[in-house]
Structure 1
Amino acid sequence: MNHERSRELYDRALSVSPGGVNSSVRATMPHPFFVERGDGGHVIDADGNRYVDWVMGYGPLLYGHDLPDPVESAVQSHAAAGPMYGAPTEIEVEHAEFVSRHVPSVESIRFVNSGTEATVSAVRLARGHTGRDKIVVMQGGYHGAQESTLVEGGPENPQPSTAGIPEEFAEHTLPIPFNDPQTVKEVFAEHGDDIAAVLVEPILANTGIVMPVDGYHETLRDLCDDHGALLIFDEVITGFRVGGLGCAQSKFGVTPDVTTFGKIIGGGFPVGAIGGRADVIEGFTPSGDVFQSGTFSGHPVTMAAGKATLEYAAENDVYEHVNRLGRKLREGITDICAERAPEYTVVGTDSMFKTVFTRETPVDAEAGCAGGCRQDSDCGRYDACPKTGADVAAAETDRWERVFWQEMKDRGVFLTANQFECQFTSYAHTEADVEKTLDAYREAI
């Protein structure tokens, strides 16, 4: 493939942007390719190269790059009416009503502008609601670029995970391993009266897609109830992608007090939201005393895109299609790995998929979950599959980034550039896209 134009654009970008990018995950080696346009389940770069796109904007593009006519019409009509108003609009009320009808935890909802803003606001709300300061998070979980969760270490030695955050901020965060009920019970036993909330992704979706072990979320729910803390599900990634319109909480049968959203809830436009029990969400100003506000919150174009996106999914076979392709990919990759790299673990559910380059080959490597790791304790791979963020970090992460990703790109398949970010199917993808990807896998693994 020729990448001359992308290389020129990257050279220019380095002069005006840190690292030449506006989001660090886009800084691929030796340089990123610059996308010129999307086409269904594909993107075409500045040099005219075409790729099957499984990145899907890191999740929000449920329909790929070609919006269904009702969604496109809704976007165009609201954009034509005016960019924004600084006043409420009917479409934001309608969108809130739709979400509250379908998501178990949502009685009330506040729209914001990004997943990060949603989780920042949810943490502030939990502290204001409970009068407590400490937040329990999962090691390897991701909740946006915010000070309260960019923390590493353990519950006894939390440290900021990036420069620019004072050490004192991390003192209020208690990082624990995902899927470790004993540790979370010990943390509540010691700090229960000071814990405002447990903030958890239902699935570690930014760390190789780690599913919960049986009963883990129920344990979190019970501990929060017993100690008067809030359970917050971060469904920025899983929302309206896992579990359909009911989101991951409906799939797992555990209802949190608060849910954060992003990505699909805005139909591909910048968005975030905090929904949950009415008595909790009403804590936001002006009805409560936890300040929250934003110039572009509830933007009419975003609200129109999000509402039309979810309505179209409700009226058509969208989830059947994307979930079927997701399973076909996971099953196909599992077969390829069984032959060529039996130590690797295929993960994912619904329309999400990934291959974690784990290092340990199970004794019974043939007995894996064909449709993606489900943390089945009867599975022959159970002891070897990732249970925590640390397990994923211990995989061959450099091999993915430096070798495999490059090989797949050269074969016209666009995957997320590191081992941690997950990949997504869309309504625009086809069986042919799946077969092309599996053929590339066979050559690249």
Structure 2
Amino acid sequence: MRDERSRELYDRALSVMPGGVNSSVRATMPYPLFVERGDGGHVIDADGNRLIDYVMGYGPLLYGHDLPDSVQSAIQSHASAGPMYGAPTEVEIDLAEFVARHVPSVESVRFVNSGTEATVSAVRLARGYTGRDKIVVMQGGYHGAQETTLVDGEAGDAHPSTPGVPQEFARHTLPIPFNDEEAAQEVFEEYGDDIAAVLTEPILGNTGIVMPEDGYHETLRDLCDDYGSLLIFDEVITGFRVGGLQCAQGEFGVTPDVTTFGKIVGGGFPVGAIGGTAEIIESFTPAGEVFQSGTFSGHPVTMAAGYESLTYAAENDVYEHVNRLGEKLREGITEICEDQAPEYTVVGTDSMFKTVFTREAPESFENSCSGGCRQRPTCPRYETCPKNGGDVASAQTDRWERVFWQEMREQGVFLTANQFECQFTSYAHTDEDVEKTLEAYKEAL
């Protein structure tokens, strides 16, 4: 596969951008794949190589790179009317009404410009609403580049995970293992009166895709109710991808107080949102006293793209298609692992998938979860499947980045570049794409 042009572009980028990229996860070895354009479920890189794309912009591209005509028309119409106004537009009401109509937790919505901005604002909202400072987070969870959640360690002994975050910020963050009900109960017993919120992804999506065990989210819901804390679901990844229009909270049957969104809710354009009960969300200025504002918030092009994208999904077989392909991929990869790498764990749900290079597991797949790990206690692989971020981190993470990702690219398949970020099917993908991908997995594994 040719890569001379990508190498040349990376050389140029290194002289004007730190690490040659504008998001650290794009810094693949030995250099990133520079994309020239998208085409349906594929990307064409700067060297003219055509690859099946499962990165999908790290999640926003529910339709792949070919938007439905109604979405494209709305984008063009609003873009041609003027870049932006610094004033409200009707289409942001349309999108807010759609979200409130379909997502169980949402009565009111504040739109912002990124998933990070959404979670930053949600944390500030929780602290302002409750008058408390401490936030419980999941070890290995990801909530964007914000000071409150860029921490490592355990509750009571947390420290910043990056230079630039004061230790004082980490003091108010209480990390616990995902899927550990006992740890959740203990942290509330010790700090409950000071906990403003529990902030968690319904599914860990930046840590190899870890599903919740039955009852875990219900436990968090009960603890928050008992102690007067807020339960915040970060659905930046899962929102309008898992569970269809009701999102992951609808699928799991647990309603948080606040939900953060990004990615799909903006139809592929920069976006974030914070939704919840009207009482809580109206704590934001100007209705309340918790400051939140932004020049580009509710950008008309983004709002139009998001509204028309979700409307199209509501009226067509979008979720049926993407979920069927996701299931077909997970089942096919499971069969390949059974033959070639039985120690590995296939994870994911709906249109999300990943293979975690776990180091131990029974050789037999009999009676196991065939379409991705579901944390089923009766599964013979239950004891060795990843339960939290630490379990994924202890997998063969280097092998993914240094060997597997490179080999899959040579086979014409574009995957996320490390063990942690998940991959996605889109409405533009086909059964033929899935078959080619499974053949590539056979070769690469």
- TM-score where L is the length of structure 1: 1.00
Alpha-carbon separation, structure 2, partners of 1:326 and 1:400: 20
Partner of 1:206, secondary structure, is coil
What is the letter of the counterpart of residue 132 of structure 2? R
Contact 1:343–1:365 (8 Å) recurs in 2: no
Deviation by residue 1:351-386 (Cα, 9 ceiling, x = unmatched): 000000000122644332001000000101100100
Q: How does 1:23-102 map to 2 (within 5 A)?
A: 23-102=23-102
Contact 1:338–1:366 (8 Å) recurs in 2: no
What is the letter of the counterpart of residue 70 of structure 1? S
Change (3 A) 1:83 1:8: same
Contact 2:338–2:363 (8 Å) recurs in 1: no
State the match for 2:150 in structure 1: 150
State the match for 1:354 in structure 2: 354
Alpha-carbon separation, structure 2, partners of 1:397 and 1:415: 14
Contact 1:137–1:198 (8 Å) recurs in 2: yes
Alpha-carbon separation, structure 1, partners of 2:227 and 2:399: 44
Partner of 2:437, secondary structure, is helix
State the match for 1:226 in structure 2: 226
Alpha-carbon separation, structure 1, partners of 2:77 and 2:14: 37
Q: What is the RMSD of the two structures over their aligned residues, measured on CA atoms?
A: 0.6
Deviation by residue 1:139-164 (Cα, 9 ceiling, x = unmatched): 00000000000011000210000111
Deviation by residue 1:25-70 (Cα, 9 ceiling, x = unmatched): 0000000111000000000001100000000000000000000000
Alpha-carbon separation, structure 2, partners of 1:364 and 1:182: 31
- When structure 1 is superposed on structure 2, of 161-170 and 361-370 the one drifting more is 361-370
Q: What displacement does 1:135 show?
A: 0.1
Alpha-carbon separation, structure 1, partners of 2:110 and 2:77: 23
What is the letter of the counterpart of residue 37 of structure 1? R
Partner of 2:205, secondary structure, is coil
Alpha-carbon separation, structure 2, partners of 1:226 and 1:198: 13
State the match for 1:108 in structure 2: 108
Contact 1:126–1:196 (8 Å) recurs in 2: yes
Partner of 1:158, secondary structure, is strand
State the match for 1:291 in structure 2: 291
What is the letter of the counterpart of residue 50 of structure 2? R
Alpha-carbon separation, structure 1, partners of 2:363 and 2:315: 46
Alpha-carbon separation, structure 1, partners of 2:333 and 2:366: 13
Alpha-carbon separation, structure 2, partners of 1:135 and 1:229: 9
State the match for 1:313 in structure 2: 313
Alpha-carbon separation, structure 1, partners of 2:186 and 2:96: 38
State the match for 1:134 in structure 2: 134
State the match for 1:275 in structure 2: 275
What is the letter of the counterpart of residue 371 of structure 1? G
Q: What displacement does 1:403 show?
A: 0.3
State the match for 1:388 in structure 2: 388
- TM-score where L is the length of structure 2: 1.00
State the match for 2:119 in structure 1: 119
State the match for 1:6 in structure 2: 6
Deviation by residue 1:191-226 (Cα, 9 ceiling, x = unmatched): 000000000000001100000001000000000000
What is the letter of the counterpart of residue 175 of structure 2? P
What is the letter of the counterpart of residue 429 of structure 1? H
Contact 2:342–2:364 (8 Å) recurs in 1: no
Q: How does 1:202-217 map to 2 (within 5 A)?
A: 202-217=202-217
Contact 1:155–1:176 (8 Å) recurs in 2: yes
What is the letter of the counterpart of residue 15 of structure 1? S
Q: Unmatched 5+ residue regions in structure 2?
A: none
Deviation by residue 1:230-262 (Cα, 9 ceiling, x = unmatched): 000000000000000000000000000000000
Q: Unmatched 5+ residue regions in structure 1?
A: none
Contact 1:261–1:272 (8 Å) recurs in 2: yes
Contact 1:235–1:259 (8 Å) recurs in 2: yes
What is the letter of the counterpart of residue 27 of structure 1? A
Contact 2:342–2:363 (8 Å) recurs in 1: no
What is the letter of the counterpart of residue 10 of structure 2? Y
What is the letter of the counterpart of residue 378 of structure 1? T
Partner of 2:184, secondary structure, is helix
State the match for 1:184 in structure 2: 184
State the match for 1:162 in structure 2: 162
What is the letter of the counterpart of residue 150 of structure 1? L
State the match for 2:337 in structure 1: 337
Contact 1:367–1:381 (8 Å) recurs in 2: no
Alpha-carbon separation, structure 2, partners of 1:175 and 1:8: 42
Q: How many pairs were matched up?
A: 445
Alpha-carbon separation, structure 2, partners of 1:404 and 1:165: 34
Partner of 1:370, secondary structure, is coil
Identity of aligned residues (%): 80
